[in-house]
Amino acid sequence: MNKGEIIIYETKDGETSIDVRMEEETVWLTLNQMCNLFDRDKSVVSRHIRNIYNEGELELNSTVAKNATVQKEGNREVLREIEYYNLDVIISVGYRVKSQRGTQFRIWANSVLKRYLTQGFAIKENATQIQLQNLSSMLEILSKSIENESISIDETQNLLRIIKDFSYGLDTLDKYDNQVLEVEKTTESEDEFRINYENASQVIQDLKKKFNASQLFGNEKDSSFKSSVNTIYQTFDGKELYPSIEEKAAMFLYLVVKNHSFSDGNKRIAAFLFLWFLEKNRILYKKNGQKLIENNTLVALTLLIAESKSEEKDMMQKVVVNLINKNN
């Protein structure tokens, strides 16, 4: 794990100050920091973390990172590998301990992540400049290597793949900054799996049982959830308003997050149904087995949608589509 950026978080009561690590588009805390944040004993927080992984709520490898840290033990300074837990884990523990501080931290983290995302999908200007320099360097290396016949066909293809990733990311950032991001390279809806109120409701109930959630989890406050399901299949003049699978998935994620249809669990339900819909339509995983959208990215996107203004709806949908389309 790299050092990343450190942001100081202070609880509202002013009693606790925590150095929060920003890295890989999420925030990270150690076990001791979580204990301080939630004002709970280490044994309590440790038990909740174990249960989170034992119940399959989160994957260990993608939510924990180790960092070498010098810490004082008595009169000695000792270098030890400390485990850091990302925002997924922090939020999950916060729900389980039902700490008011956890709610306050979640609101603060949402605002921080939104700030980073709206400034270019969490990429700062200097990072973008570095990408441009790296892209230029790679093109130069590739050109010279091909000219000298010093690399194999496989190596050439790998370099081209990296360059393609850089180019797509930079192009997406440029379109986002200039408000010209469009929907493209999507999957046609022929023979698609159709989500409906009944099967979506069943998935929510299964999710509730799996995580032993509260009675309020998934409890519908009104008919807005049914409306969200129906909206993604709306037509005008005989044509679907959201013709592709990606557009339907993006709009469904947006609607479930923004409509606050449930007494508890709105964002978690929205994110899970989004992944479920993609998986049912066989586009959640790339041909190489890699997930189309990483968990951290989905968390950040969900938070960004929650904090967005209503007039930003179309742009939010286009952002999501561009992150899950065939170009990515």
Neighbours of 310 (CB within 10 A): 6
Give yes or no: residues 95 and 130 share one domain: no
104 plus 216 within the same structural domain: no
Clarify whether residues 73 and 142 are in a common domain. no
Cα separation of 208 and 203, whole Å? 9
Domain-located, residue 182: no
Residue 290: give its domain's CATH number: 1.20.120.1870
Pick from 98, 118, 138: which residue ends a domain?
118
Contact 53, 60 (CB under 8 A): yes
- The predicted structure's pLDDT at residue 150: 47
Q: Tell me whether residue 188 is in a domain.
A: no
Which helix or strand (DSSP H or E) is residue 240 part of?
A: strand 239-240
The predicted pLDDT at position 211 comes to: 79
- What was the pLDDT predicted at 302? 84
> Does any domain span residue 190?
no
Tell whether 270 and 163 lie within a shared domain. Answer: no
Query: Same domain for 203 and 314?
Result: yes
Looking at the fold, whether 70 and 109 belong to one and the same domain comes out as: yes
pLDDT in the model for residue 72: 63
Task: Pick the last residue of a domain from 67, 88, 118.
Answer: 118
Q: What pLDDT sits at residue 195? A: 93
Q: Give the chain's domain count.
A: 3
Q: Which domain holds residue 17?
A: 5-118
Query: Do 269 and 304 belong together in one domain?
Result: yes
Residue 172 CA from chain centroid, whole number: 17
Contact 324, 249 (CB under 8 A): yes
Q: Quick check: 77 and 71 in contact, CB under 8 A?
A: yes
Residues 47-77: pLDDT tens digits?
999 999 998 888 888 889 887 666 666 777 7
Global confidence as pTM:
0.51
Please say which residue of 50, 85, 118 terminates a domain.
118
60 within domain boundaries: yes
Distance CA 60, CA 46 (A): 14
Q: pLDDT means per 10 residues in the chain (328 residues)?
A: 58 67 76 86 92 88 79 69 86 79 73 57 46 49 48 48 48 55 64 90 91 88 94 90 92 94 92 93 85 79 80 83 72
With respect to residue 101, please indicate whether it lies within any of the assigned structural domains.
Answer: yes
In a domain, 185, yes or no: no
Mean pLDDT, the chain, rounded, equals 75
Q: Return phi, psi of residue 190, to 5°.
A: -65, 135
Element (H, E) at 148: helix 125-148
Range 177-197 burial, b when 16+ CB lie within 10 A, else e:
eeeebebeebbebeebeebee
* Separation of alpha carbons 46 and 126, rounded Å: 38
**Residue 29 CB burial class (10 angstroms; 0-12, 13-18, ≥19):** buried
- Residues 80, 34 within the same domain: yes
Q: For residue 192, is it within any domain?
A: no
The residue count for the chain? 328
What's the confidence (pLDDT) of residue 200?
A: 95
Do the Cβ atoms of 299 and 271 come closer than 8 Å?
yes
- From the list 178, 159, 155, 179, the residue with the least C-alpha distance to 167 is 159
Asked whether residue 107 falls in the same domain as residue 134, the answer is: no
Q: What is the dihedral of CA 255, 258, 260, 265, to 10 degrees?
A: 90
Query: Do residues 203 and 231 both lie within one domain?
Result: yes
Residue 295's nearest CA partner among 21, 85, 75, 83 is: 85
Same domain, 114 and 129: no
Is there a domain that residue 167 lies in?
yes
Q: Are residues 141 and 219 in the same domain?
A: no
